[in-house]
Structures are given as structure tokens and as C-alpha cells.
Amino acid sequence: MSFLQIEHVRKTFTTPEGGEVHALDDVSLDIQAGEFFVMLGPSGCGKTTLLRSIAGLEYPDSGMISVDGQRIDDIPAYERPVNTVFQSYALFPHMTVEQNIAFGLEMEKVSKEEIKQRVEFALAQVKLEGMAKRRPSQLSGGQQQRIALARALAKKPKVLLLDEPLSALDLKLRRGMQIELKRLQQETGITFVFVTHDQEEAMSMGDRIAVFKDGKIVQLDTPREIYRRPVNAFVADFIGETNLIEGSATETGIHLPGGGFISRNHIAPDCQFGTSGPVTVAIRPEDFELSENEGALKGTVRDVIFTGDSVRVHVLLDETEVVASLASYGVRVPDRGETIGLNPLEHSARTVAS
Amino acid sequence: MTTSHTAPKRRRLVNLRNFPSFTAVSWGVLFFLYIPLAYVLFYSFNSSRIATIWQSFSLHWYSVTFHDPDIQRALSNSIKIAIGATIFSTFFAVIAALGLLRMKRAGSAFAWALIGAPLLIAEIVLAVGTLAFFRAVNIPLGLVAMTIAHTAFCIPFALIPIRARLGQLDNAPFEAAADLGANEVQILRRITLPLLAPAIISGALLAFAISIDDFITSFFLSGPGSTTLPVFIFGMIRSTVTPEVDAISSLLLLFSGVVLISSYVLNRRRR
Amino acid sequence: MSKKHVKQLEGRPGQTSPLLALPTVIFLTIGIGIPILVTIIYSFLDRAEIGMGVKWHFNPTSYKSLFIIENLDGTTGFDSRWIKVLWNSFLYSGITTIVTAIFSIPIAMWIATRDENKRNILLAAVTLPFWISILIRTYGIRQIIDDNGPIGTIMHKLGYAHYHIIYTPTATLIGLVYVFLPFMILPIYSSAERFDFRMAEAAYDLGARRWTVLRRIVLPSIRPGIIAGIALVFIPALGSFLQSDMLGGGKTNMIANVIALNFGQARNWPFGCALSVLLIALTLGFVKLIQWIGKKSTGEKVSFI
């Protein structure tokens, strides 16, 4: 029995023009206790609507949501055993840090001494012990973010909902917070549901990731599986970087633009495709190696870009451009205009539904 | 466990954007704001001689209003004063804004106190003070006296939108103009004034509305034969109230509505 | 480098000379400054023996007669009439301010949380009364509460014919509330519009119910608007003339009515001027008070222009 259960949740919005948008289109989801669960997708895919539906800030049209065996979709937000870290932090500007954190506990009529203790503990958890008397406006963005986190954690929620909490931070701060959030989740054992549109963040943090598109979950799996076995071209392209090459299938393999050919035994064994007709091949840039002989892919080098840890070679196969990411050290780097061959590593090429 | 099957009937969840009874109170307030106006509008079509007792539908009192020479004279006085006050107060507001707003000087405190005074000090105080002053220096009561007084208290109203607009402007367009070789006069004419134009129009409209609606100042400063429309209406209300008051009030209501709607439309189009 | 050159470098582009404001300052000195000065001077003079105006003789009797009555037999006694007028003015303005605030907070929040189209229409609906003459609005409310108007008719039908609203203090109050309601709604609305509803969502999320959200999150956030509204209602209400004149029937005089009386029938200009000076002082005192409260509770300076 799963901890956070979402069954057949639907939510339809009416646009001002009178059209209908299915923000959530029959979404079902099971999240385990203590899991770090990530909902990933482009903006408008429904992930935030689902998060807000769990929080009770939005009401689904139909479906069921339960936490720890208790149905919550029929109780108001203020009675639900879940708390949210908002994207904008939504700290109360007229209250001090301490008052912000205490607010939620006062709502539960927790005793004064206990509030004091739990506020202190929450501040310690986010390493901002000295900030109790400050106002939110006196804190940096990163500190505000931690206070928002402390405020929600102090309530000891069964599920902590995080709505793109790191999107306003700069890259370096964000990396640090990612690690800290992950550590905090492991220490507290609280189930985290984390919404983001940043696939790198999703992969580095999630135990499991649900990829959303147009109000539906397209794929739900571990980061590794999603990266390695994307179910379709959208996921392959959205998660990490992928070369999507349109080819045509034959009995022995796939013909590619520019005269290249990949034989069936080079393609991941779990991929099924017909013996004729168009087919989309997905190959990650890092899964190429330079072929000194005739490669599976043949093309002209258009650009060579040095990025430090790798060299990215843009190769033109007829009109399709593919990117190969080669080690910047120890291998030969081709020149612009050179005709080269590329081979996908064994079983790394996949066919994907478009 | 099968929560979904044993779950009780879904509770009706409250709309979190609404606070209890706010909707009802709001409609109540709107009703309260408009019912007297609707009542006046309705009773302007009363054929009875007594404003509060409904007899039958009639345009009689509109006809009386349109043919009442006293009303025509009062209206023409009101319009003359309002146009004068609008032009002068807008002019004074614009130069005050340009002179005072983009520079902070200690000396401006006195100027600001004078400009802000009509917003703070009760109108009747300024009205009797002006009356006393004009009598002392033998300025006759009448149109000129009223136009001077109206201009004075319209200046802050004309200034409000201009000030708000100047507050929104940053230095970029001025610096760009200077960079492109415009001198101070050219910047004023080609950049500052065009940027302020919508605010100047709003301010002028506000000044006009304030002046034409003014009662108290005109009440003390109008001389014989220079009665304004509000003063005349006040006299009518004081004596016998016929539906003529409702008719003239309705016409003014209509005018206010048209002005507001046209200023909204202007704003929309600008966006 | 020439002196002119240096001067040009001082100001930022587009900045105009403060001298430009000089004509306005001169005009306002004549149109506002001198009348106030005249009022102050006249308040210390004697009333003219016949007709209107003053006699140029220094005499602070006007201020004395605010509290002391001189009987015909030459004795003096404490006079509570003007104190009562002052008290009434304060009381009515205070009640008006409180009542308008109580009704304006819900409607301002309500409008601010509607969707954009509805919000614009509703905003126009509460703005329109601004553009309508206060005289006409006062007349309108008078027709409603008149004995022959709808309220009177209803009361008559219910058997309360002996109760009258018109020409009572209640009528003055209803008129003041009616006229000044938009002055309270609009500033509160402009604060409410800026209220970030995600704050309320966060409070709900932390377990607060709707009244708690209102009291602890919404009200503190719209406080600048409420303070501005208090200033915008209380100050003009304190100096209001038409409502007590047209609705109170002369029984509920406020300061402005007494000032008007002394410049009219009573022909005691110095006393009218003394009351004016008093009203100015009270207003400025209130302005200072509200600025102090504003600074204390919001940390921002309350500006009146």
C-alpha cells in the first residue's frame, strides 16, 4: 500500500477564449513513504496543478487523493497533513523569521514552549540559528528559501511538497541546496514531492521521476531508467540531450540520412521496430565514438566546440545535424569540414516512438 | 485498505479566494452606493410637482430644466469657471511638477505645503479665508474670484496624475535624448511633455470635474448673478423640491458617467 | 572650463530648473497662503459693529468665547455649546471612518480577488461616485431616507411612522458614510490589489482557517491602504458641511456649519475665523498623528499628495 495515492485525478480549466485545457488528464500515481519523488515537465504540463491539488490549494474535478490511508481530497488545505515550500517562498513580510515558522504551529494550538523548541529546531535544521529575529526582507534569496523550508518542516508534515523551490537561486547556490535538500529528506524521512522543470535537478535528486506532458504522466521510473530507456522522443529529448535521427527500417537494420546504416544488433535489444517504414533513432551525444574507418554514421564536421571536459562535434548527415560529445583528452579531434564516421556504442542506439 | 470505496461523500470545499460573507457585503455596498442615484434618475421622470411623491411618467421636468433661464445661466457660469480653472490649474501643475519633482531641494517643502493644503484643509476654511481676503483687497465676488479660488484648489488634483507618471519614468529616455544631442529645451518639448501628456490630460479632467462639482467655495464667492449650477441646485433643494432637481441631477450624473467612460476608453486605447 | 559648462554637468538630462515652479508658488501664496494668513489675523480682531467684516482692533475674545459665555448681566459662565460642536464633529467623523472601513475592507478584497475583466468593471463602479458631485449624492441619499422616500414608506407600513431618520444625527451619519465610502474603498483596494494571494495560500497550507488568514495575513498586508483611507475619510468628514446641513436639519451642527453660520446670518467673522484656525489645527494634528501611526505600523511615510 502506497503512502501518497493519487487516483484518476482530472482537472480541466476553461480558457478565457472558451476553450478547455486538461491540466490533469486522469492521472494516477503511487508514491512510497520516505521517497524523494520528482514531478518533471515543461511549464503548463500539469505538474504544479497536481502539487497544488495535493496541497488543497486547487480542487480537482474528479479523482481521489489519499495520504497514509486517509483520504485528503475532500478536506480543506488547512486540515491536510501536507505542507508546501512555495516557489516564491511566500514568507509573510510583516512577521519575523521566528513568527513565520511559529505561524503554522500556532494554528495547531501547540503550546508556547513547544513552539519555541520546534522553531529553534527547524532553524537549526536549515542552519539559520541566528536569524530568528530578522524580517524576511533582511535575508538573501537563499536564506529566504531555507526559512520557507523550515516553516514547512516545523509542521512535521507527512508529505512535503516543493514547488520549484530552487528556481530563483543562482546556479551555485542551487547546487548546494540540492545536496542539502536531499540530505534533509534522508535525515527526516519525510516523503518529498518535488516539482521542477529542470531535468538535471530532477535526475540528481529524485528517487523516482514522473515526466509530465499535457496533463498526463508520460513516463515514471528511476532517473537512470528514464535516461537510459526513454519511452518516446519527447522524454528522450527532454531528459538530457539526444540526437533524434529519422531513418527507415529494413530487415537488417536502419538506414540513416547521409548514407549511414545501423545494424539491428547495434540497437538496444529491448527496442522493437518493424522491418520497413520510417523510424526514429535516439542516440545520446556521449554514446558516440569516432570511427577511423567507415562508421555507421557518415557526415561532415560543421563545428567543433571545446567545453572543457569534452569536445562537442556537430556533424551534418545530409540535412540532419547530430552532436557527438567526445572526450577532450586522449582522442583525435576532427577538424571543421572533415568528413568523418561515427559509431554508436554497443546497444546505445534506441528506437523511440515519436 | 480501500479508502476510495468507504470514503464519505465529498465535503463541499470552500473557495479559498473568497472570505466568508465578503461577496454579500460587497453587493450590499454597491447597492448602497447606487440606489440613491438610481432613485434620483427614476424620479426625474416624475410628473408630480413634489419630488418624493410619484405620480406618472413624464419628461415634463426635463423640459422645464431645458427652458429654465436660471439654470442656463448657472450652467454657463459653472462651465466658464471650470474651463478657466482647468486651464490655469493644469498649467500651474505642469510647471510645478517640472520644477519641483525631478529635484529634491529643501526649499521645496514650502511649495509642497502650499500645493497640498487644499487636500488637507477643510474647503470651507479656505473659502471663508479667501472671502475675507478678497473683501479686504476689494476683489469683487463673482466669476473672476471663483476662477482664482477654483484654480488654487484644483492644482493638487491636476498634479496627482502628473506626479505619479513622473515617478514611473526613469532617466533612460532623457539620457538617450541628451546622448543624441538634444538640449534641455528640446528634451522638454520632445521627450518630457509627450511622456507626460496622458497624465496631464488625466489631471486636467480631474481638475475640471472637481471645479464643476464644487459647491462650498462657489457658495461663498459667488456674487449677484454669478451663481454656479451646484449653488443654484442647493438653493432649489433648500426651497421647494420639485423633480426639476432630479432632472438636472440626472443630467449631471449622465455627464459624469460619460466623462468616466470616455476616460476609461482613452486609457484602454492607449494600452 | 566655463561656469556655464560646470552648471550643465550638475543636473541630469531632462531635469528642469526649480525656478519653473516659481509662478505656481507665487499663485498659491496668493490663493491659499494669504487667505489662511487673513483667517489667522481676523480671528484676533473684533467683529464689525454693523454688517460683515472686522474692526481692526486686537482682541482674542473669539477664542475666549469658544469656552466662555458672557451673560447679559455681565457675568460669565462656562459655555459648552462649541465644545459640543467640536465633539460632534469628531464623533461623526470617527464613526464615519470606522463604518466606511468596516464595509470597505470586504469590498476592496472582493474586487481585488475577481478576475481581470470583472475587476475593471467593479473598479469603475466604485470610482464613478468620485466623479459625481457630492451635492447630488447627498441629495440622492436624502431622497432615500426622507419620510416620503422608500425608507420612510417602509417604516410607515411597518407601523414606525413616528420614527424619522431625516433631520436627525443618524441622517447626518448615513450621509457622511454614503459620501465618503468611495474615499475608503479606493485606497484599500490599491493595497489589496498588490496583496500577493500566495501569502494567503501559504497560510492556508500552514493550517490557518479563513478568518485567521484574514486577520493575520490579509489585514496587516493592506494596512497602508487602511491608514490612507482613514486619512482620506476622517479629514474631509471633519470639515464637512453639506451632510449636516441637508440631512441633519441644522440640529446636528458640525464645525463647518458653525463657520458658515458666522460668515452668514450671525455675521461674526472673527469667531468664524477662530473656528477655522481651530479646524486647521485639529486637521494638522490629525495628519501628524496618522503619519506617526503610518510610520510606526508600516515603516513608510504617509504622503497626502
Q: Which residue of C has its CA nearest to A86?
A: C202
Residue B247, in any domain of the structure: yes
Q: Give the CA distances from residue B235 to residues A20, A310, B82, in Å, rounded to whole numbers and listed in that order.
A: 60, 91, 20
Tell me the pLDDT tens digit for each residue of A180-212.
999 999 999 999 999 999 999 999 999 999 999
Residue A238, in any domain of the structure: no
Rounded to the nearest angstrom, the gap between the alpha carbon of residue C48 and the centroid of all alpha carbons in its chain is 32
Are A71 and B4 within 8 A, CB to CB? yes
Question: What share of chain B has pLDDT > 90, as a percent?
Answer: 55
pLDDT at A331: 77
A89 and A118 co-located in one domain: yes
Are C31 and B151 within 8 A, CB to CB? yes
A276 and A131 co-located in one domain: no
Q: Which domain holds residue A304?
A: 243-352
A72 and A18 co-located in one domain: yes
Rounded to the nearest angstrom, the gap between the alpha carbon of residue B186 and the centroid of all alpha carbons in its chain is 33
Residue A60, in any domain of the structure: yes
* Closest to B34 in 3D by CA, of A229, C124, A300, C207: C124
pLDDT, mean of residues C39-67: 87
Are C143 and B93 within 8 A, CB to CB? no
Tell me the pLDDT tens digit for each residue of B169-204.
878 888 888 888 888 888 888 888 999 998 999 899
Band (A327; pLDDT cuts 50, 70, 90): confident
Residue B35, in any domain of the structure: no
CATH number at residue B188: 1.10.3720.10
Residue C277, in any domain of the structure: yes
Residue A46, in any domain of the structure: yes
pLDDT, mean of residues A162-169: 92
Q: Which domain holds residue C255?
A: 81-298
The tally of domains found in chain C comes to: 1
Residue A53, in any domain of the structure: yes
A166 and A249 co-located in one domain: no
Residue C52, in any domain of the structure: no
A73 and A173 co-located in one domain: yes
Residue where one domain finishes, among candidates A215, A233, A251: A233
Band (C177; pLDDT cuts 50, 70, 90): very high
Residue C275, in any domain of the structure: yes
A162 and A273 co-located in one domain: no
Tell me the average pLDDT of chain B.
87
pLDDT at B7: 44
Q: Three cell numbers at B130?
A: 479667501
pLDDT at B5: 44
Residue C118, in any domain of the structure: yes
Residue B20, in any domain of the structure: no
pLDDT at B1: 40
pLDDT at C53: 80
Residue where one domain finishes, among candidates A233, A268, A293: A233
Residue C185, in any domain of the structure: yes
pLDDT at B219: 95
pLDDT at C264: 87
Band (C6; pLDDT cuts 50, 70, 90): very low
Are C204 and A78 within 8 A, CB to CB? yes
Tell me the pLDDT tens digit for each residue of C178-192.
999 999 999 999 999
Are B124 and C110 within 8 A, CB to CB? no
Are A76 and B4 within 8 A, CB to CB? no
Q: Which chain C residues are Cβ-neighbours of A83 within 8 angstroms?
A: 205-206
- Global pTM? 0.87
Band (C4; pLDDT cuts 50, 70, 90): very low
Are B33 and C239 within 8 A, CB to CB? no
Q: Which residue of C has its CA nearest to B221?
A: C263
C3: closest CA of chain A, how far (Å):
45
pLDDT, mean of residues A24-39: 95
The Cα–Cα gap between A180 and A125 comes to 10
Nearest to C136 among B96, B100, B253 (CB): B253
pLDDT, mean of residues A289-307: 85
Give the DSSP letter of residue B122. Answer: -
The tally of domains found in chain A comes to: 2
A227 and A249 co-located in one domain: no
pLDDT at B184: 81
Q: Which chain C residues are Cβ-neighbours of B253 within 8 angstroms?
A: 132, 136
User: C119 CB near a chain A CB, below 8 Å?
Assistant: no
Residue A267, in any domain of the structure: yes
DSSP states of A225-238: HHHHS-SBHHHHHH
Q: Give the CA distances from residue B111 to residues C54, C154, C276, in Å, rounded to whole numbers and listed in that order.
A: 30, 53, 22
Q: Are the C-beta atoms of C107 and C126 separated by less than 8 Å?
A: yes
A52 and A76 co-located in one domain: yes
ipTM exceeding 0.95?
A: no
pLDDT, mean of residues A271-293: 87
Could you tell me which residue, A38 or B1, shows the higher pLDDT?
A38
A227 and A267 co-located in one domain: no
Q: Three cell numbers at C225?
A: 491602504
The Cα–Cα gap between C231 and B251 comes to 32
Residue C8, in any domain of the structure: no
C1: closest CA of chain B, how far (Å):
19
Tell me the pLDDT tens digit for each residue of C199-219.
999 999 999 999 999 999 999
Tell me the pLDDT tens digit for each residue of C16-35.
778 888 999 999 999 999 99
Q: Give the CA distances from residue A38 to residues A191, A215, A350, B83, in Å, rounded to whole numbers and listed in that order.
A: 11, 15, 25, 66
Residue A345 CB partners (closer than 8 Å, separation 6+): A287, A288, A289
CATH number at residue A249: 2.40.50.140
User: B31 CB near a chain C CB, below 8 Å?
Assistant: no
CATH number at residue C85: 1.10.3720.10
Are C221 and A57 within 8 A, CB to CB? no
Give the DSSP letter of residue C48. Answer: P
Residue where one domain finishes, among candidates A233, A251, A269: A233
Q: Is the alpha carbon torsion for B248, B252, B258, B262 positive or negative?
A: positive
Are C146 and B260 within 8 A, CB to CB? no
Q: Which chain C residues are Cβ-neighbours of B16 within 8 angstroms?
A: 200-201, 204, 210
Task: Using CB atoms within 10 Å of the CB of residue B69, give its burial: 0 to 12 exposed, 13 to 18 middle, 19+ buried.
Answer: exposed
Are A57 and C205 within 8 A, CB to CB? yes
Are C202 and A78 within 8 A, CB to CB? no
Q: Which chain C residues are Cβ-neighbours of A56 within 8 angstroms?
A: 204-205
> Which of A178-182, B48-52, B96-100, B229-233 is least confident?
B48-52
Tell me the pLDDT tens digit for each residue of B256-265.
888 888 777 7
Nearest to A86 among C198, C207, C221 (CB): C198
pLDDT at C97: 98
The tally of domains found in chain B comes to: 1
Q: Are the C-beta atoms of C274 and C66 separated by less than 8 Å?
A: yes
pLDDT at C5: 44
B164: closest CA of chain A, how far (Å):
25
Band (B101; pLDDT cuts 50, 70, 90): low
Q: Three cell numbers at C192?
A: 489589496
User: A56 CB near a chain C CB, below 8 Å?
Assistant: yes
C84: closest CA of chain B, how far (Å):
19
